[in-house]
Amino acid sequence: MSNSFAPLDPVSNGPSSKKRVAYFYDSDVGNYAYVAGHPMKPHRIRLAHSLIMNYGVYQKMEIYRAKPATRHEMTQFHTDEYIDFLQKVTPDNMDTFSKEQGKYNVGDDCPVFDGLFEFCGISAGGSMEGAARLNRGKCDIAINWAGGLHHAKKSEASGFCYVNDIVLGIIELLRFKKRVLYIDIDVHHGDGVEEAFYTTDRVMTVSFHKYGEYFPGTGELRDIGVGPGKNYAVNFPLRDGIDDVTYKSIFEPVIQSVMDYYQPEAIVLQCGGDSLSGDRLGCFNLSMRGHANCVQFVKSFNKPTLVLGGGGYTMRNVARTWAFETGVLVGKEMDPVLPYNEYYEYYGPDYELDVRASNMENANSKDYLEKIKIQVIENLKRTAHAPSVQMQDVPRTTLAGTTDEDEDIMADADDDENMDVRHTEHRNDKHVARDDEFDEGDEEEANLANGAFAQNGQAKQRNHTYSDVEMDSGVATPEAEVHNEIEDAPTAVTEANAQVNAELMEQKTQDATPTETLEVGPSNAPSRSDSPKPIVDDEGDVDMAEPPEAATVVWDLKPSEKLSASPTASVKDNIIANVEAAASNAEIMPETAALQAEPVVKQEGESGRQDTDVIAEASEEITEQVQS
């Protein structure tokens, strides 16, 4: 039927409409196939990408291969049990999951196929990363034609959709944006997205779709949300055969009213290609330019925009339209004659960048559309004008796990130092390391600090040299070689002798009888930089405190035993303790373990016996020096 509406505006994609555009594409997406004869064909995304590249559109945008969404990221919306099922089920073991298939609606429309979970990860990863880049201000528009799977529910697959990448992307946007607008121009109602945000005013969902005896059977005009989300769900039910001019007459005034009343901070646009004329499953009559007119109008609001794919079951038409709309978003004029590409035969017999409307009857009368439009705008007037949101401080990192600094590092890593060297994608993928692969844990750092790991091909080093100021971090062990201990003994004796002279002078000024005891507290705790030599308190002799369990000591301490009143005897015991500490390469003694009672001789065979001889000889030599 004929309708008298304003003519369709020519789609402008000149230089004045340029934006910073991030484009997400994973070449693996075309490798997945649902089942033989299934209308959903991921290969269409590869066709669209081929046109985008051969038209040179890539020169005006940044191209990314997003990290696939992880199980944890998917469960930001979906239930753990549902995602676990998608991760485990395969065509080979699906018979053992017959009960779960019924529970999660996996079967006919949503079959189990090889790589199901990986396919969902690619779709969701692109949408989440696109939202993350918008949040960080890295781009004005993010494109993920592999996304837009709007039917998936929290714990249920539906309408060829398993994981709802749109909801995951919106959740990411909501971490930084107060209000997000979702627009759906797929021929089917975006029921999964509407259901997810049906009770909140932070997301307004607007869907233009076929309503009636048509999948999914939802999206009635009076479905407007509940509770805080009342009037924030907008549904515009349509009939068969709507054309470009008619669609424009209802799309632009409704979206303009939404922008005026809701004032979103970001927009998510689902560009389902099944609303095009001649679609295998669709019933609308939009041309490529009529479809792209919606994209251009949304772009004109200059809001951060996430553009996604969706339905579309005539591959050549979907590829043409998404390639053309990519050109609209980046502001590039595109030749109506298709460039030659590896899928050129798909576009015969005309080989043109165009999808034309047919002579299909338009069942949408002017009166019908006007009544719907008036009611929709009345509902919008009942909403709070730009509803306020209580926002909290948002961490710099996003769900995708990257910061601005990470992005700069990754960007630098992408630059080839030698532009003549080319590697295959497979080789590059093999060199992608996990985030934590080269991180050193606390235990490893401690071992490195203590010289436990050999570096640069050198043998492990143990440092046994003690100084008056600090002690090296090397830790001697009972397995230390005997000759090292013997070589260290004379040095230890000399140092101990010097210590004796200083302590004798100090002891002469002290009363021989101890008058106070030193209370052990946190200040007496050993540290790596403490001197290994015992320290005599200024107040006189002290009670002995038991060292902490962590300290490795080779003496049998007696905390309650008082030292002899004789300064000489105290000094002798002190000397023996010093010599034994140096000779046995023990760890640093705590200050509270400074003065020692009887040393315990190690029983370790021949090595232990040699240790005893060294200690005895050194003790006799020092005793003679003291007595003289």
Contact by Cβ (8 Å): 62, 129: no
d(CA 123, CA 164): 9
Q: Output 481 or 29, whichever has higher pLDDT.
A: 29
310: left (phi over 0), alpha (psi -120 to 50) or beta: left
Assigned token pair, 36: 């033989």
DSSP alpha helix (H) spans, 331-423: 366-381, 404-414
d(CA 575, CA 537): 16
d(CA 33, CA 172): 28
- The per-residue pLDDT for range 221-238, each reduced to its tens digit, is 999 999 999 999 999 999
pLDDT of residue 420 exceeding 50, the answer is no
Rounded mean pLDDT of 175-202? Answer: 98
**3-state DSSP assignment of residue 23:** strand
Measured in residues, the chain has a length of 628
Percent of the chain with pLDDT over 70: 59
Lowest mean per-residue pLDDT among 2-16, 207-221, 306-320, 346-360: 2-16
**Active site residue ranges:** 151
Contact by Cβ (8 Å): 453, 460: yes
* Residue carrying the six token digits 């934590």: 436
d(CA 120, CA 105): 16
d(CA 262, CA 69): 30
**3-state DSSP assignment of residue 507:** helix
- The per-residue pLDDT for range 357-399, each reduced to its tens digit, is 999 999 999 999 999 999 999 999 999 877 766 655 555 455 4
Rounded mean pLDDT of 105-110? Answer: 94
Q: What is the dihedral of CA 150, 156, 162, 163, to 10 degrees?
A: 70
Using pLDDT thresholds of 50, 70 and 90, give the confidence band for residue 50: very high
Contact by Cβ (8 Å): 380, 231: yes
List residues bridging with 286 in a β-sheet.
276
Residue 233 per-residue DSSP state: E
Percent of the chain with pLDDT over 90: 58
DSSP alpha helix (H) spans, 520-605: 567-583
Contact by Cβ (8 Å): 478, 604: yes
pLDDT of residue 60 exceeding 60, the answer is yes
Residue 617: per-residue pLDDT: 58
Using pLDDT thresholds of 50, 70 and 90, give the confidence band for residue 509: very low
The amino acid at residue 286 is: L
Q: Output 369 or 554, whichever has higher pLDDT.
A: 369
- Residue among 119, 123, 67, 66 nearest 90 (CA): 119
d(CA 190, CA 216): 9
pLDDT of residue 353 exceeding 60, the answer is yes
Rounded mean pLDDT of 523-551? Answer: 40
Assigned token pair, 563: 């030292």
Using pLDDT thresholds of 50, 70 and 90, give the confidence band for residue 59: very high
Lowest mean per-residue pLDDT among 193-202, 348-357, 381-390, 485-494: 485-494
Lowest mean per-residue pLDDT among 3-7, 123-127, 154-158: 3-7
500 membership: H or E segment, kind and range? helix 482-508
Sign of CA dihedral 417, 422, 423, 429: positive
CA dist list (Å): 216 to 87, 93, 269, 445: 26, 29, 20, 57
Domains in the chain with CATH codes: 16-332+354-381 (3.40.800.20), 482-627 (no CATH)
pLDDT of residue 577 exceeding 90, the answer is no
- The per-residue pLDDT for range 69-93, each reduced to its tens digit, is 999 999 999 999 999 999 999 999 9
Q: ∠ CA(249), CA(189), CA(266), 5° rounding?
A: 70
Assess whether the previous peptide bond of 349 is cis (omega < 30° from 0): yes
Q: Output 356 or 535, whichever has higher pLDDT.
A: 356
- Residue among 495, 614, 508 nearest 570 (CA): 508
**3-state DSSP assignment of residue 414:** helix
- Residue among 49, 65, 12 nearest 319 (CA): 49
Contact by Cβ (8 Å): 340, 178: no
Using pLDDT thresholds of 50, 70 and 90, give the confidence band for residue 503: low
DSSP string, 120-139: HHHHHHHHHHHHHHHHTTS-
Residue 384: per-residue pLDDT: 80
